[in-house]
Amino acid sequence: MQFKKLIYTSLCLLLFNTISIAETIDKNEFSETQAVIESQLKAFINKDAEGAFFHASPYIKMRFNNPQDFMSMVKNYYEPVYNPKNYYFMESKFFEGAIYHQLQIVSQDNVSYLAMYSLIKDKGEWKISGCSIYPMEKQSI
């Protein structure tokens, strides 16, 4: 099972790192999308289900119907995102109309995770369309 996770994580990282910026984008949009992610993370920290759900894309809103169901899913399956100790933006890419951000998220028990967010524009506003998290491999210096 661990080997499958390692392969999947490696493929996702490879995909993220090979996305070329073929389209032009205003650099402010990277800042805007980072602000959206930060706002949602702060909503999770403050247990503000409606604030967190506000930043979800229409597809995600359709899947979870209401803020409470969405918050419950995040709490159960994305604990490091739901209650981060800290987070750091790493890389950002633009591809086929979406913006992708890599974050390092540190959980309350000091485990680092790689979070990969995707955002799409909906009616002129950036919305979070997906998030995947993976434990980061420990490295020694």
- The predicted model scores a pTM of 0.80
Model pLDDT for residues 92-110, shown as the tens digit of each residue? 998 888 999 999 999 999 9
pLDDT higher for 4 or 79?
79
Which class would CATH give 27-135?
Answer: alpha beta
Residue in the block written with tokens 């503000």: 48
Which pLDDT belongs to residue 97? 87
Model pLDDT for residues 7-24, shown as the tens digit of each residue? 455 445 445 544 444 345
Lowest-pLDDT range of 10-14, 112-116, 136-140: 10-14
The domain spans of the chain are 27-135
116 by Cβ neighbours in 10 Å (0-12 / 13-18 / 19+) ranks as: buried
Task: Put residue 136 in one of left, alpha, beta given phi > 0 → left and psi -120 to 50 → alpha.
Answer: beta
